[in-house]
A and B are shown apart, each in its own frame.
Chain A
């Protein structure tokens, strides 16, 4: 199957190459240049006559909404084209070749422009609703794309990066972290679905382009070389996010993304590193959330007398998750094969049904069934109440911002646990078991015990995140803790976040979780088709990039059989938090 996939990729590449050389290279480059300039100019024209289309694209001389995205795509293309003209100071934009990057950028410009025009005509009823500016934009991207396709393909090898003084590298790291924060904030703040789709198109194609240009490889090499600095910058960028928010609405989204992402990272230990298919993982999040809800002083809890301080409750939540993890893992992890998948899916359902039924009617009154446990008090750590807003200079830090900081610390803990455990004796044993269980045992690894440790560790991290989530939402109800649903978190989404993002990496699941959380949140117009669209997206991704968005060097080799020696150990973890914020 892998071979087949690779061949298909090559077919596609050949098809794209069909136009190569149909006009001389200088002309092709000129066409690209003109096309990009024209695309940029068109964004200053009016694209439609009415402001009924969100974002108001009617004003000439001032781009709005999706026009800004087209403008961004056009500018990125222009910049890359100028770099292809060997303009001084822009050579760094393409350490591994220009043409493929140009093609992807032009495709991105085309995609976002045509998507906008399509959305306008679709929503307002026909092409008649387009103003001339719209047509100019739609046509301007064509010569640009044609030009890039006619350019000769990349031949040269990636030029190795030169070492630079520390302060310069730190500046670059800071710039990348800031850009990541900006992009993340922009995405989270998009106000309507169309803008979010446009955002995804621009981000997707430019990320692809910069990967092809070799910039991403450079960046991750830099981050690996300056690991502590890079982690600090990424953490600071993430911590700056709530400060950029004037309303609580998006900080709330940010908290939920972090919760979802840390759980995905915990699952990544089980699935990505150890290769155990856990289809009921969300239940551990539920165990943590319900444990915290029961012991944190809610009046709806049967143990309302107990109001355990949060830090202790977090530990208890994680510990109870571990207990459940061991209870499920101990009998099943001895067996090889798919038993674990079946048992975990069963556990997930049992958990869901049990908390639904412990309502005093079908069973003892513990969880209040579908009503859940409400009015969970806010967290208070050392007298600092996370429920109320605090003043930091002139900036107000609201409730969700407080929880965002708390979750950020939890994320930091989880990331540290993941990378330290993954890159150690036990982590190597996990990967060895995933690769070849028989050989791993012949190397002296106690397969059962080692897998149980991974399973319990994964459960504890989910339980930890669950304790925070109970406080953030004020109440816990059974509905999120199912195998599959249309919003995060559920076991299927968690698994998808890991697989989509990139198994075995730190940044992959964080990125995948952000996307999977935001997409259903933003694209409400998909409504009932959400799961379908999600399935299609998964298929497309698995077709073109089976190793996930962020490739682990190991998986990359597995699917693309490159002969490139792996980078120094640990480099795949290096992008880590920068992309948590991106």
Chain B
């Protein structure tokens, strides 16, 4: 796919996250270029979700910087979203008691400006912005195939559709990079296939994707490059062959630790 020679979209340098004595993420570098789909795999507890949280400002990394389009990101979730990185959550976090459409409209928060005052006055500018938001939200629901359920409560959607809605909500913030945390967890093979199609369709909209998955087939079908995280450290990164043939990846997945975990002493 596209090359990462020029300035990458996302440039992560030396990110480390410690929780007390536990180093969940240790000195990880990663770049994502324009239009790329990058996979992030690793055994349970490897620190993948923690890494995402460091990127999106949910956690303030102990060390390291995250640069997006050449700007160092401040560790504040809403500013990260504002800058152009959107995410989904491993354990779905929808606004359960809002409708499907409202969920997506909330996703547009960072791309709209109307404050309390204009909401009270409801001038033409406000109405135009609101109508525009609704149109864009409906278009996204159309895109993920949930348009017919726009007025349903998010909590009443079946599991697979909740995942789709989370993606639509994330896309509503018009991101340049989308982080997906286990988008196919709990899905059957057909749904997983559909999710693959969806990820490609998102990439075709010019959005780069960084995806965490346990389903290897899914990862290798989709990703231009895959990074492997084991005990907080990135041990390999590369294409399918590189990753699949790597000794350390095999041992990691078989469950025997490669070496003593590098934990800082307290």
Contact = CB atoms under 8 A, between A and B. Distances in A.
Given A429-B106, A442-B93, A557-B156, 7 more contacts: A431-B98, A432-B98, A432-B106, A439-B93, A441-B78, A554-B97, A558-B155
B102 interface: yes
B66 interface: no
Nearest to B114: A425
Given A432-B95, A439-B89, A568-B151, A425 B110 contact: no
Nearest to B115: A426
Interface of A: 416-417, 420-421, 424-429, 431-432, 435-436, 438-447, 453, 457, 553-555, 557-558, 563, 565-569
Nearest to A454: B116
A425 B120 contact: no
Nearest to B154: A435
Contacts of B151: 565-569
B237 interface: no
A444 B173 contact: yes
Contacts of A563: 156
Contacts of A565: 149, 151-153, 156
Interface class of chain B by DSSP: helix
Contacts of A568: 151
B169 interface: yes
B58 interface: yes
B87 A442 contact: yes
B105 interface: yes
B112 interface: yes
Q: Which 8 A-B pairs have the closest CB atoms?
A: A444-B110, A424-B119, A444-B81, A554-B97, A439-B93, A435-B95, A441-B77, A432-B106
Contacts of B122: 420
Chain B contact patch, size range: 35 or more
Interface string B111-148: 11011100110100010011001000000000000000
B99 interface: yes
Nearest to B81: A444
Given A435-B98, A565-B151, A443 B114 contact: no
Contacts of A436: 93-96
Contacts of A427: 119
A442 B152 contact: no
Interface in B199-243: none
A447 B78 contact: yes
A538 to B, nearest CB: 23
Interface in B54-111: 56, 58, 77-78, 81-82, 86-87, 89, 93-99, 101-102, 105-111
Contact of B107 (A435, A443, A447, A453): A443
27 contacts: A416-B120, A420-B122, A421-B116, A425-B108, A425-B109, A425-B130, A425-B133, A427-B119, A428-B106, A432-B98, A432-B109, A435-B96, A436-B96, A439-B93, A442-B81, A442-B89, A443-B78, A443-B109, A443-B173, A444-B81, A445-B78, A445-B106, A557-B153, A557-B156, A563-B156, A566-B151, A566-B152
